[in-house]
Structure 1
Amino acid sequence: MKTIMWATLTANGNYAQSGPENPPKPEALGDFAAQAQAAGNFIVGRKTFEGMRGNGGPGPFADLDIVVVSKSASAIPGVTVVGSPREALSYLERRGHQAALIGGGADIHNSFLSEGLVDEVIFNVAPVLEGKGLNLLIDQESYRYRHVELLDCKPLGGGVVQLRYAVQDRH
């Protein structure tokens, strides 16, 4: 199964921390929705999922397989909760998906990267500089660098630029 990690970064390379003073760019959100629809699923952490739910309705993702990776969450209506990245991928594979979209949370992204479970990364670079933020980390014990190949680069509008890379040395 092809695994695609999707993230929005600031122009200075941090994870874009959205909030009332810095809402997510609609172009990036639209791209996430399109990527999720194409994959038929997405994987997120509990905190990211809770932030996405807003006022609790199913929203635009009601017909997708949503997987929440959490060590502490119990059952969440309408989604599948698993304890690890490998469990998330196994579940989606059993459901017949050809691709998995890893949609959010620095902890989730870092866990997939550290286990070598990412085939492609999509970075949407937002036109904002952020003084303090979260970063992507790779397993520093076994990998100092991960080589990637640029597959595509395109503007999404609103100053957002999308970079898509293939991970060359997935283990």
Structure 2
Amino acid sequence: MKTILWATLTANGNYAQSSPEHPPKEEALGDFATQAKAVGNFIVGRRTFEGMQASGGNPFGEVDIVVVSQSVKDIPGVKVAGSPQEALNYLQEKGHTTALLSGGADLHNAFLGQGLVDEVIFNVAPVMEGKGLNLLLDTGDYQYQDVQLLDCPRVAQ
């Protein structure tokens, strides 16, 4: 199964953090919704999913949503998986050939650390944050991985 990591970065390279005071840019959310509808699913962390629910529910239509959580075992209307591999197995069993991963630096780093990411989509938001999170390849020794830029479309002014 092909796994695509989708994330928004700030103009100064941090993993963008959203909050009620600084919500994600509408253009980024629109791009994510387009990607999710195209593959028919997305995988998200529990805290990010709770934030999505608090901001107005599910604007994604009929897509399979998998929440990865080790603390919560049941969320009505979505599949809860205890690990990244369990999330991928579930989507593959449902007939998906591609999984879209979004929401939560910890979750992204878990997938990256286990070598489960095939492609990345980065939206660069026209904002800068003084404090931010990083996407990591490994939590131990430094690792280096070449990537290939496939496209660079403009989604916001």
| TM-score, scaled to structure 1 | 0.87
- The CA deviation at 1:139 is 1.2
Query: Where does residue 148 of structure 2 map in the other structure?
Result: 149
SS at 1:101 equivalent = strand
Partner of 1:12 in structure 2? 12
Q: Which residue of 1 aligns with 2:46?
A: 46
**1:82-161, aligned counterparts within 5 Å?**
82-139=81-138, 141=140, 144-158=143-157
Gaps of 5+ in 2: none
Distance 1:62 1:109 in 2: 23
**Equivalent-residue separation in structure 2 for 1:142 and 1:126 (angstroms):** 30
> In the aligned structure 2, how far is the partner of 1:51 from the partner of 1:29?
13
Instruction: In structure 1, list runs of 5 or more residues that go unmatched.
Output: 159-171
Paired residue for 1:163?
Answer: none
Deviations 1:60-115 (A, max 9, x none): 23411100001101200000001100000000000000100001100110000000
Matches within 5 A, 1:15-94: 15-54=15-54, 57=57, 59-94=58-93
- Counterpart Cα distance in 2 of 1:157 and 1:61: 20
**1 or 2 for the larger relative contact order (CA 8 Å, sep ≥6)?**
2
Aligned residues: 157
Structure 1 outlier segments of 4+, above 4 Å: 140-143
- Aligned mates of 1:143, 1:133 — CA distance in 2: 19
**C-alpha RMSD of matched pairs (Å):** 1.5
Amino acid at match of 2:15: Y
SS at match of 1:92: helix
Contact 2:37 2:61 survives alignment (8 Å): no
TM-score by length of 2: 0.94
Give me the identity figure in percent: 69
Q: Distance in 2 between matches of 1:56 and 1:73?
A: 21
Taking the aligned partners of 1:63 and 1:13, their CA distance within structure 2 comes to 33
Q: CA deviation at 1:56?
A: 6.3
User: Per-residue deviation at 1:46?
Assistant: 0.3
